[in-house]
Structure 1
Amino acid sequence: MLKFDQVLHARLGGLKEAVTVWTETVSKLEKTKEKAENGLRSKADKADWKGENAGVTQAFVRKTAKEFGDALTEATSIRNILRDAESEFKAAKSALEKLVEQAPGKGIRIDPDGTVSYLVHPDRRSKDYDGPEPEQADFEAMRSSIKAAVDRANEADDIASRALRALVGKDKNNFSGTKYDSLAAASKAQDAEDAHTAYELYKKGDDATPQEIDRLNALFEDNKKDPYFAERFALEVGPKGSMEYWADMGDPSDGSRLGVDHRDKLKGLQQNWSLTLATATHSHSPEMEQWKADVIKAGSEPVQTRGTSPYGFQVMSNLMRVGDYDDTFLRDYGNGLVATERRMTHDGRLPADRAWLQTTGMPSHLNWQGGDLGKDPMIGFMEALGHNPKASTDFFNHDIDLTPGDGKDDKKLDPFDYFSKDRKWPEELDDKGHLTREPGYDALGHALEAATTGHPYDAETEGLEDVRTKENAEVMQKVVERYGSDPKYMHEQPGIDDSLGKMGAAYIDELNRSLETDSDTTMEEKKNSPFGSNDAKGGSRFGDEFDTGLLWNRGDAVNFMGIVSQSETGHSTLSAAEMIYTTSVLDEVGPKPGSSFDERDLTDARTTLRIGSEAQGIMDESRMAQIDKDYEKDSEEHKKAVGKTTEWVKFGVGAAAAGGVVALTGGAGGVLVPLAAETVGGAVVTFIGMEADDMAEKYEKDEMLKKKSDDLSDEALAMGKENSLRPGIAYANAPGWSEKDRNYLDETLVDYVRDARLHARDNSLPDPYEKK
């Protein structure tokens, strides 16, 4: 594996010389081949040899003549491989040289190992520094460009070395005659060879040894995201072949020890198989279009193994849990899957789990990723949507035709209503042997995260940008309406609360915009609102109607934030998002550090802190009310739950700002929070670096448990109030303010917001959920 410095300082003279030498060799062999064919072989063919001499000598001459042709083919292939490899290395090297040359002008330093950092760190800049000030996005772009260049060199190196080994061959007495017109042709040939090798291993089924499963996994890994390999493999195995193979792997009755002794290998195989088929679906060749149609057609048919008979949809959905499947394929697959379930449940008159009972034999073990055994095909499908935001957004925004092709019966189904309200998700057997609906609702949450945020639910947070569209917002409107209408939806759908918290965090700007209005029912924003995600011209990213219009009214925003905050995870995620968003708004609307200002200039800053404090109050009060409902007062469980209500502040330790989005990497997990500006301001940076205190660390366990629950609740709410002041404190302490201005801002803004916290109690908060 080539490293940054090896590519940057690569000496390509020897490789260029080798290309020249092999080009000369090709020229010489062309002449030799012509002599061999026109002279040696031609004369041998015309000779009238008889007897033993004819059977030996004539064949030998012909074979010798052919070897000259094979030698020319092999030499030409070697020259072509070396020529293209040299071209790729040169391009990669030039790209790195250009990046190194440009970096200082952007205020960036590139270390010898390729690490990117500030040329002059902000902490070491002089007061009169006027050089470039790179943003996080600049660093990410530089890292991405470096990686692309190094990857290009490594890919060329891998293909070339493998091709050259194949050309030399193992037979010392014969030239291989292998023909490669280019490095790309060699890559394609290698993909086809690997796909066929994988196919031969596939044919062994669960009779394969652990070593053969390792080999199959290695082939998948080596060709990760390689379109040609993926398509060749998918077509060689066929749609039913994949289903039969995976069903056989999940058959507990046939004596195979793979699922008993090597679960980790099957887990890796499921992931790799899924990734490979996902890549294959992006091909639109006639053969792959037929493959996709056949997968959906086979979905409603049982896949019979020796001891099991899962439906095709059950098997295939478990091979869709990982990877980015094609948009159109996911839409068609989902429509077919839902239509099949509705038909099998007689339009919902039977519960969903009745649709997926196997016709014969033992239950199949189709999912090795953990969480469930894979009985419900909707779980795998939702995970597939969770990895494809475009497909997920489209799926939840359009009705499903349950009777396609029937001109007389136009029966439609709203997929959002069906999955979030009407469908009773089957209980699944989890890793601990318990029956639970959590895997299903967890997967539904993942699909909705992708549909509302525009990013895969498990996307790497570094470098992500705010990409929300009107279509994403339309799904979010449905989410707020559904889950803000009654606490039962969240509480009776175990596993969805963390996703609701992340969706709320992604729309914290629009929630704040609604909270600012004076009426619970108006759909118009308060004039000159400092909140909302607008473009450079002051318009809404969600369309003209939302330039001043709201996605939801204040009452819906209060209910949604209150209900989601009844969950420990939801409360912590929304609280962290509220703090970071409020701080970013202060950066945008407040006077800039170092500038002169008067009281009128602080109007938007006061509004921002007031709404932020009120929002935090809504969340804290809702969480406390739910704790009171869940646990007996003064019990150890009650006190521990209260103690955790402020632990979310730990997120500040690991928060990172990037590309107009803040990634909360601590207590809130990978949550994307929109900022009020494209760049990160001083208040946000200060806020991220502030030390966080929390109740769990403030008290020793024994001391905390000696207190009364009411006293602990009062202290926790007081601490929540103090935490809601943190954006104002960060703003007042941002670099650039004089000591006098810093003290004034701290006193004015902080004192103002202490009283604003009381507004939270004026809201009609949703009732806590009471378990049946």
Structure 2
Amino acid sequence: MLKFDQVLHAHLGSLKEAITGWSETVTKLEKAKEKAETGLQGKADKADWKGENAGVTQAFVRKTAKEFGDALTEASSIRNILRDAETEFQAAKTELERLVAEAPGKGMRINDAGDVTHLIRPDSRSKDYDGPKPEVADFDAMKAAIKAAIARADDADDVASRALRTLVGGDKNNFSGTNYDSLKTASKAQDAEDAHAAYELYKKGDEATPEEIDKLNALFKANQKDPYFAEKFALEVGPKGSMEYWADMGDPSDGSRLGVDHRDKLKELQTNWSMTLATATHSTSPEMEQWKADVIKAGTEPIQTRGTSPYGFQVMSNLMRVGDYDDKFLKDYGNGLVATERKMTHDGRLPADRAWQQMGGMPSHLNWQGGGIGKDPMIGFMEALGHNPKASTDFFSSDIDLTPENGKDDKKLDPFDYFSKDRKWPDELNDKGDLSKEPGYNALGHALESATTGHPYDAEAEGLKDVRTKENAEVMQKVVERYGSDPKFMHQQPGIDDSLSKMGAAYIDEFNRSLEQENQTSMQEMPNSPFGARPNANGEPRFGKEFEDSLLFNRGDAVNFLGTVSQSEIGHAQLSAAQSIYTTSVMDEVAPKPGSGPARELDLTDVKTTLRIGAETHSIFDQSRMGQIDQQYEIDSEEHKKAVGRTTEWVKFGVGAAAAGGVVALTGGAAGVLVPLAAETVGGAVTTFIGMEADDMAEKYSEDKILKRKSDDLKDEALDTGKANALMPGQAYARTPGWSQDDANFLEEDLTKYVKDSRGHVRDDSLPDPYNEKKDGKVT
């Protein structure tokens, strides 16, 4: 990979001279080729050769004349490669020069390593500083532009260097005759070579050596997102070829040692193969459209190996766990998969695992990613939806025609109801080696995350934006209604609580709007609400006109959902952190700006409303979690005390949070928990909040200290600490630079008292009952 300074300071003069030299060579060779063809070869063809001359000399003359043509082709190709490479290098260099020149005017500096920093650090600015004050989003945009420019030069460098090596070739006595009329042509030719090389390795199947699997992985990684390579490989292998290969790799009966000794290589191969096919599905060529149709058709057919016979859907779904598959293909595939399962289970009268039992032989090991061997094809499909928000949103918003071959009936199925309520997910081996429904519900959670947030569930935190649409929100309404209606849905679906808490965090702004409304069933927003519906990037109501003054969820549904999700440890932690950050951002937006006047004379109505709802929400979280701990563990047991001690550690989720583009991504716990902010840019209170040290706020319990205390005493202390942690948004506002010391002291004291009073006078909401395993059945 080229470095920033290498591109910025690249000396392209020698390259330009080389282009000129090769252009002159091309001109000379054009004349030489013409003379060779009309002179040397022309005379040889007209001559009346006799004896040995007829079989040797004439052929030699023709070959010699042809070499002039090959020399011209090779020289032209070299000139073309160098010319296009210079164009790309110059464009990248010019872009970096522009960015470096413009950075100071934006309050930034770019050093020789390409790092972007403040031109003048905020803590070093004078009181009368009125220069540019770049936000996190500005830094992210600058870094992305630098990265793109370097990548452009690096791509050109890779293609050009490989093309030149190919042109020189290994034959010292002959010109290659390879014709590249552009860098783009060379890139395509290289893709085709790589695709064929991958095909040759594919043909070895599970008889390939570990070194050959490494070569196949290297080819996939080098062309990971290259559409031409992906299509060439997919078509050369064929729609059933991938299935047969992967089923053979997972056949435990044929003596291959790859799955025994080199599981890590197969895990990498599964990832790379999946990403390659995902890229290929975005092609709309007639050949690939047929490939996609044939894959779905083969889904109902057994894929026979020596000792196994998994269905095509089972194999293909495990090759869909990674990568962004095409929207339409995913919908068609999912419809076909669900319709097939419903037929095989006689419309659900048989459990789902009966549909995917292999007829005889040992079960295929189709998944090397962890979380089961890949028997249930719905898991891989849900993971695919988790990486494609548009397809996932569409899938959970549409009905599935269970009998597409019959145009007369109207046999439809609601996929959201089916997967979240009706389907009996089969047991799979989880990462701990236990049979559990966790792999399936974990994958369902991933799919619902993408459908509600608009982001792949495992999207990197850097550069995330709030992209929720009305369609995303409508799926979220279904999630809130289902999982808030009865705690059993979450507790009987192990592995889904993490995803539910991420969805709750992503809609924490809408939940605050709901909780401000005192009526349990009203869908009308409170007038003059500090949590008013935020517009989208176009200045329009985010979820459409109908939700400008109307709520997504009524107060009762909001309390039930948040209360249920915060019964789990991860749900309590992530929702608590999200609520604190969102409360802080609202205060940044609606509260009087620091230094705008004597704090005692300012209108703090919106500030107090914001803090009140935040305090009440934290109370819902804390009471729900404590109730579940009491239900789950025996009072004064070691497990009970440790669980109580962990309830105060949610503040660590906010440490190191990445803020940009109107969202904060929590990175202190599970990465990428998206929290919407009340404004596009981060204000002082949010910055102060994120900068607070978690170790100074989280309750520290040593194990010895916990075990010596009574559970009730620990609970009281933990709730007091939770109350103190809920004060942080107010403290961050009071400590924002700009207030005098007297104003800061007044605000912190006044707001602290208000929050404590609000939390102590939470309205008498009926929180969801803690989940009782004995009553509702043991969680598996």
Q: TM-score, normalised by structure 1?
A: 0.99
- Whole-Å Cα distance in 1 between the matches of residues 175 and 236 of structure 2? 30
Letter in 1 for 2:142: M
- Whole-Å Cα distance in 2 between the matches of residues 245 and 649 of structure 1? 48
Within-5 A mapping of 1:179-258: 179-258=179-258
Q: Verify the 8 A CA contact 1:652 1:690 in the aligned structure 2.
A: no
- Whole-Å Cα distance in 2 between the matches of residues 193 and 230 of structure 1? 12
Letter in 1 for 2:750: T
- Whole-Å Cα distance in 2 between the matches of residues 108 and 230 of structure 1? 40
Aligned equivalent of 2:162: 162
Q: Verify the 8 A CA contact 1:373 1:429 in the aligned structure 2.
A: yes
Within-5 A mapping of 1:113-132: 113-132=113-132
SS for the counterpart of 2:664 is: strand
1:738 pairs with one of 737, 740, 748 = 740
- Whole-Å Cα distance in 2 between the matches of residues 612 and 693 of structure 1? 22
Task: Compute the displacement of 1:700 (Å).
Answer: 2.5
Letter in 2 for 1:96: L
SS for the counterpart of 2:117 is: strand
Aligned equivalent of 2:284: 284
Q: Deviations over 1:321-356 (max 9, x none)?
A: 000000010010000000000011010000000110
- Whole-Å Cα distance in 2 between the matches of residues 126 and 49 of structure 1? 95
Letter in 2 for 1:605: V
Aligned equivalent of 2:567: 566
- Whole-Å Cα distance in 1 between the matches of residues 349 and 518 of structure 2? 45
Q: Which runs of 5+ in 1 are unaligned?
A: none
Task: Compute the displacement of 1:289 (Å).
Answer: 0.3
Aligned equivalent of 2:581: 580
Task: Compute the displacement of 1:436 (Å).
Answer: 0.5
Q: Deviations over 1:4-47 (max 9, x none)?
A: 10110111011101111111101101111111110110111111
Letter in 2 for 1:690: M
- Whole-Å Cα distance in 1 between the matches of residues 582 and 567 of structure 2? 21
Q: Verify the 8 A CA contact 1:572 1:668 in the aligned structure 2.
A: no
Q: Verify the 8 A CA contact 2:461 2:658 in the aligned structure 1.
A: no
Q: Deviations over 1:713-770 (max 9, x none)?
A: 0111111111111111111111111112112211211111101002336111110000
Q: Verify the 8 A CA contact 1:643 1:695 in the aligned structure 2.
A: no
Q: Verify the 8 A CA contact 1:532 1:676 in the aligned structure 2.
A: no
Letter in 2 for 1:456: P
Q: Verify the 8 A CA contact 2:651 2:698 in the aligned structure 1.
A: no
Within-5 A mapping of 1:480-559: 480-535=480-535, 540-559=541-560
Letter in 1 for 2:761: H
Aligned equivalent of 2:87: 87
Q: Which runs of 4+ in 1 moved over 3 A?
A: 536-539, 597-600, 693-697
- Whole-Å Cα distance in 1 between the matches of residues 611 and 312 of structure 2? 55
Q: Verify the 8 A CA contact 2:600 2:746 in the aligned structure 1.
A: no
Q: Deviations over 1:238-285 (max 9, x none)?
A: 110000000000000000000000000000000000000000000000
Q: Verify the 8 A CA contact 1:442 1:496 in the aligned structure 2.
A: yes
Aligned equivalent of 1:753: 755
The 3 A distance-change label for structure 1 pair 313 and 759 is farther
Q: Which runs of 5+ in 2 are unaligned?
A: none
SS for the counterpart of 2:485 is: coil
1:428 corresponds to 2:428: yes
Aligned equivalent of 1:62: 62
Task: Compute the displacement of 1:625 (Å).
Answer: 0.3
Aligned equivalent of 1:698: 700
Q: Deviations over 1:190-243 (max 9, x none)?
A: 000000000000000000000000000000011110000000000000110000
Letter in 2 for 1:749: L
Task: Compute the displacement of 1:706 (Å).
Answer: 1.1
Task: Compute the displacement of 1:388 (Å).
Answer: 0.3
Aligned equivalent of 2:660: 658
1:674 corresponds to 2:663: no
How many correspondences in the alignment? 772
Task: Compute the displacement of 1:651 (Å).
Answer: 2.2
Task: Compute the displacement of 1:697 (Å).
Answer: 5.4
Aligned equivalent of 1:45: 45
Task: Compute the displacement of 1:694 (Å).
Answer: 7.7
The 3 A distance-change label for structure 1 pair 532 and 405 is farther
- Whole-Å Cα distance in 1 between the matches of residues 343 and 312 of structure 2? 15
1:646 corresponds to 2:644: no
Q: Deviations over 1:130-175 (max 9, x none)?
A: 1111111111111111111111111111111111111111110001
Within-5 A mapping of 1:146-161: 146-161=146-161
Q: Verify the 8 A CA contact 2:371 2:439 in the aligned structure 1.
A: yes
Aligned equivalent of 1:332: 332
Aligned equivalent of 1:769: 771
Q: Verify the 8 A CA contact 2:372 2:431 in the aligned structure 1.
A: yes
Q: TM-score, normalised by structure 2?
A: 0.98
Q: Verify the 8 A CA contact 1:649 1:667 in the aligned structure 2.
A: no
SS for the counterpart of 1:117 is: strand
Letter in 1 for 2:523: M
- Whole-Å Cα distance in 1 between the matches of residues 604 and 112 of structure 2? 48
The 3 A distance-change label for structure 1 pair 108 and 533 is farther
Letter in 2 for 1:469: T
Q: Verify the 8 A CA contact 1:533 1:676 in the aligned structure 2.
A: no
Task: Compute the displacement of 1:659 (Å).
Answer: 1.4
Within-5 A mapping of 1:376-391: 376-391=376-391
Q: Deviations over 1:99-140 (max 9, x none)?
A: 111111111110101011111111111111111111111111
- Whole-Å Cα distance in 2 between the matches of residues 627 and 157 of structure 1? 59
Letter in 1 for 2:515: L
Aligned equivalent of 2:714: 712
Within-5 A mapping of 1:625-644: 625-644=627-646
Sequence identity (%): 79
SS for the counterpart of 2:604 is: helix
Task: Compute the displacement of 1:650 (Å).
Answer: 1.6
Q: Verify the 8 A CA contact 1:647 1:694 in the aligned structure 2.
A: no
Aligned equivalent of 2:363: 363
- Whole-Å Cα distance in 1 between the matches of residues 759 and 43 of structure 2? 104
- Whole-Å Cα distance in 2 between the matches of residues 692 and 228 of structure 1? 49
Task: Compute the displacement of 1:691 (Å).
Answer: 2.3
Letter in 2 for 1:514: S
Letter in 1 for 2:179: K
Task: Compute the displacement of 1:408 (Å).
Answer: 1.3
SS for the counterpart of 1:484 is: helix
Q: Verify the 8 A CA contact 2:533 2:548 in the aligned structure 1.
A: no
Q: Deviations over 1:386-411 (max 9, x none)?
A: 00000000000111111113121111
- Whole-Å Cα distance in 2 between the matches of residues 676 and 538 of structure 1? 14
Q: Verify the 8 A CA contact 2:461 2:671 in the aligned structure 1.
A: no
Q: Deviations over 1:50-102 (max 9, x none)?
A: 11121111111111111111111111111111111111111111111111111
Q: Verify the 8 A CA contact 2:533 2:547 in the aligned structure 1.
A: no
Q: Verify the 8 A CA contact 2:573 2:653 in the aligned structure 1.
A: no
Letter in 1 for 2:735: N
Letter in 1 for 2:100: V
1:609 corresponds to 2:618: no
SS for the counterpart of 2:410 is: coil
- Whole-Å Cα distance in 2 between the matches of residues 312 and 23 of structure 1? 55
- Whole-Å Cα distance in 1 between the matches of residues 8 and 162 of structure 2? 23
- Whole-Å Cα distance in 1 between the matches of residues 601 and 718 of structure 2? 33
Aligned equivalent of 1:308: 308
Letter in 2 for 1:556: D
Q: Verify the 8 A CA contact 2:244 2:304 in the aligned structure 1.
A: yes
Moved more, 757-766 or 710-719: 757-766
Aligned equivalent of 2:407: 407
Q: Pairwise CA RMSD of aligned residues?
A: 1.2
The 3 A distance-change label for structure 1 pair 497 and 694 is farther
Q: Verify the 8 A CA contact 1:392 1:447 in the aligned structure 2.
A: yes
Task: Compute the displacement of 1:695 (Å).
Answer: 9.0
Aligned equivalent of 2:32: 32
